[in-house]
Structure 1
Amino acid sequence: MTLGSQIAWDDTVLPFQLDRSDIRGRVARLDGVLESVLKQHDYPPMIEGLVAEMALLTALIGQSVKTHWKLSLQVRGSGPARLIATDYYGPTKDGAPARIRAYASYDDNKLDHSADPFSQIGQGYFAILIDQGEHMAPYQGVTPIAGGSLSSCAETYFAQSEQLPTRFALTYGRNQQPGEPVQWRAGGIMLQHMPKASPLMQQQDGPSGDDGLLNAADILDEDEGENWIRANALLDTVEQIELIGPTVQPTELLVRLFHEEAPRVYDAQPIKFGCTCSEARVRQSLSIYSAKDIGTMTKDDGTVTADCQFCGAHYVFQPETLGFEATDGSES
């Protein structure tokens, strides 16, 4: 793809490479996807912001997974923002959109609405999980919560678990274009050093990141470090309006930021909101329970109900149709 190509950039991830720096990256723009994710729930503003940041990270990281693969990000903490979970489903075929879904679990009574949203997570961990499909063992990597944002957690994860120097520049929030309703928009850039970086620490005095964790400087030699510092300095000049769009195209942004690094772009990946829940999946998840267990789940009106935490879908079943002792497999 040439840098002058014209495509619709909203809900899209554009991968690129900086040939003179051995650095790869992605530019993401989310609007309709993010709006669809957040409208499924009535989150307070600080939780909406955390979910928006996590969804944007998921789009940027997930673009690298293969067709049919699933990538999940999870943050679990000891604070009132207990859990933020996102899923990225790779496209089912070449040219098809990827799908994203997300949700958060929190204690509204304990949230400090005047505090920095990230502080409401507390101590915990950041995890990336990759499901490669049937007959393949899933991959899971976990690092402690570190830094002052979810993007800092992701940067620490890649340095600590993958030995890949990584940098994110993100922006997100409610936005209104002339003649259009207010809606969520998000945009971001991810930079990542190519994998030839040595997994051995270059500094002899131990990791230099927070809480004794690795960061980019610990895993780059002198030449690689110079390239990385230069690319990050260029990224520091980006403006929020350039990230979030929609007036500046990602291709134009790459030229402005990195023209001396010889940016090369690849095919863009479209993204949409998508949930995989279904009545059949709920039935399958309940198939391990006995009739007695199902009885404890039955409501006063004689039904068993289930709600999808991601999309809010509501399912109603007759108890006799559930579990491994079901006497009637018909739909309720």
Structure 2
Amino acid sequence: MSFGTKLAWDDTVLPFQLDRSDMRGRVARLDGVLSGVLKQHNYPAPVEALVAEMALLTALIGQTIKLRWKLSLQVQTNGPVRMIATDYYGPEEEGQPARIRAYASFDADRITEAAPFDQLGQGYFAILIDQGEGMQPYQGITPVAGTSLSDCAAAYFAQSEQLPTTFALAYGRSTEPGVPEHWRAGGIMLQHMPKASPFASGEATGDAGLLAAEDLVEGDEKENWNRVNAHVATLEELELIGPSVPPTDLLVRLFHEEQPRVYDSQTIRFGCTCSEDRVRQSLSIYSARDIEKMTTDEGLVTADCQFCGAHYELDPASVGFESDDKA
């Protein structure tokens, strides 16, 4: 795919509301964030696509968390791609960017030419929210289901949160004359506003016996849901990824009859929280004998961050609960 000039909307999430149909949503565009995530690793093409999709989902879902909170998405399966993990760090202060990081673990010998989602096996999709020190983390899990990671996320919201949710995503490599090939992504997330009594009473019609969004709406809500999703079905890839259609114009084109209302956009950056202090803290549970077993032939304890590729080299005498620093 080929694109033109980089937009100011790149690496942002724009929240909005559809007043007529009582729905809320977000539009996201990712460019430099994906470059930051993917350049750290030499992933096979199907793995790259899965990580790009997961990062886009993380941006769309993460925008709702509060300042200084952390949202994580995880997929673990018995397939060639064993795990995908992403983190979204809420801004430290109003007006500051949020940060995203992501990585995947996979068996290179088992990766095939099949579609990216087919590289996953049986497993689970999880959302975790860390509200900070002294607060109990929240975790929700559903089976891997459907034909995409966005299907997994929609199934999670239907099953665990009883919130009808739909996604429309596009992502791939951008090729422009004179510009290195790089990944771009864009998408929309739509969600029915929570009901006072959200519990579904009908049959679960989703994949693997899970609830689907359609199982959670009836009457006027069902009519609104179907109408808005019919608008979403008209989306084209270039509208989602850009650059010629700003998200605000896209919302007017799709939902002008639904009375769209936009809120302040959220800027996103690639960012990792790893540090030498965090490495030392993670090693603080080990004895001197354990540290000795971790020491390389060069006399160092080394650690690599799976998210950003940072490499740490530490003096073995300075780490562990029996280190010289603890004496």
Normalised TM-score (structure 2): 0.96
- 1:197 shift after superposition: 6.4
Counterpart CA distance in 2 for 1:40 and 1:217 is 39
Tell me, in whole angstroms, the C-alpha distance in 1 between the residues paired with 2:165 and 2:322: 51
| Alignment-derived partner of residue 116 in structure 1 | 115
What's the secondary structure of 1:280's corresponding residue?
Answer: helix
What residue identity is the alignment partner of 1:321? S
Query: Which of 246, 259, 270 lines up with 1:273 in the alignment?
Result: 270
Shift of 1:180: 2.7
Counterpart-to-counterpart distance in 1, 2:273 and 2:200: 41
- Per-residue deviation, residues 8-46 of structure 1 (Å, max 9, x unmatched): 200000000000000000000000110110001010111
For 1:178 and 1:8, the matched residues in 2 are separated by 20
2:315 to 300, 315, 318: 318
Q: Match of 2:99, SS?
A: strand
CA contact (8 A) 2:68 2:92 kept: yes
Say if 1:76 and 1:126, in contact at 8 Å, map to a contact too. yes
Equivalent in the alignment of 1:74: 74
Give runs of ≥4 in structure 1 deviating > 3 Å. none
Q: Does 1:125 align with 2:129?
A: no
Distance 1:200 1:180 in 2: 50
1:211 CA drift (Å):
1.4
**Residue identity opposite 1:34 in structure 2:** L
- Residue 259 of structure 2 is aligned with which of 262, 267, 275? 262
Give, in whole Å, the separation in 1 of the partners of 2:249 and 2:176.
Answer: 20
SS in 1 for 2:36: helix
Percent of matched pairs sharing the same residue: 71
Kept in 2, the 8 Å contact 1:164–1:197? The answer is: no
Equivalent residue letter for 2:312: Y
| Residue correspondence of structure 1 range 302-313 to structure 2 within 5 A | 302-313=299-310
1:202–1:221 contact (8 Å) kept in structure 2: no
Please give the alpha-carbon distance, in whole angstroms, between the structure 1 residues aligned to 2:312 and 2:199: 51
What CA distance in whole angstroms lies between the structure 1 residues aligned with 2:196 and 2:240?
A: 28
Task: Tell me the TM-score normalised to structure 1 length.
Answer: 0.95
CA distance in 1, matches of 2:322, 2:200: 57
Count of matched residue positions in the alignment of Structure 1 and Structure 2: 321
Residue aligning to 2:3: none
Shift in Å, 1:202: 4.3
Alignment-derived partner of residue 248 in structure 1: 245
Aligned to 2:41: 41
SS at match of 2:322: coil
Paired with 1:153 and 1:95, the residues of 2 have a C-alpha distance of 31
Which residue is equivalent to 1:3? none
Q: CA deviation at 1:120?
A: 1.1
Distance 1:164 1:40 in 2: 35
Give me the whole-angstrom Cα distance separating, in 2, the residues matched to 1:21 and 1:118.
32
Task: Look up the SS of the partner of 2:146 in the other structure.
Answer: coil
Alignment correspondent of 1:174: 173
Query: 2:296 aligned to 287, 296, 299, which one?
Result: 299
| 2:98 matches 1:98 | yes
8 Å CA contact 1:70, 1:90 repeated in 2: yes
Aligned to 1:213: 210
In 2, the alpha carbon distance for the partners of 1:178 and 1:234 equals: 33
* Structure 2 unmatched runs, 5+: 1-6
Q: CA deviation at 1:318?
A: 1.0
> Where does residue 55 of structure 1 map in the other structure?
55
How large is the Cα RMSD of the aligned pairs? Answer: 1.3
Separation in 1, partners of 2:208, 2:104: 26
Counterpart of 1:164 in structure 2: which amino acid?
L
Instruction: State the one-letter code of the partner of 1:77.
Output: T
Instruction: Give me the whole-angstrom Cα distance separating, in 2, the residues matched to 1:304 and 1:183.
Output: 35
Give 1:328 deviation, angstroms. 3.6
Q: Secondary structure at the match of 2:211?
A: coil
Cα deviation, residue 178, structure 1: 4.5
Q: Any conservation in 1 of the 2:46–2:119 contact (CA below 8 Å)?
A: no
Q: Give the secondary-structure state (helix, strand or coil) at the position aligned to 1:171.
A: strand
Structure 2 counterpart of 1:185: 184
On the 8 A contact 2:170/2:187 being kept in 1, the answer is: yes
Amino acid at match of 1:54: M
1:125-162 deviation digits (Å, cap 9, x = unpaired): 00000000011000000000000000000000000000
| Aligned-residue offset at 1:190 | 0.3
In the alignment, which residue of structure 1 is the partner of 2:138? 139
- How many Å apart are 1:179 and its aligned residue? 4.1
Deviation per residue, 1:90-131 (Å, 9 max, x gap): 00000000000000000001111x111111110000000000
> Does the 8 A contact of 1:202 with 1:220 survive in 2?
no
Structure 1 unmatched runs, 5+:
1-6
SS in 2 for 1:288: coil
1:224 alignment partner in structure 2: 221
Q: CA deviation at 1:261?
A: 0.3
| 1:239-294 CA distance string (max 9 Å, x none) | 00000001110000000000000100000000000000000000000001100111
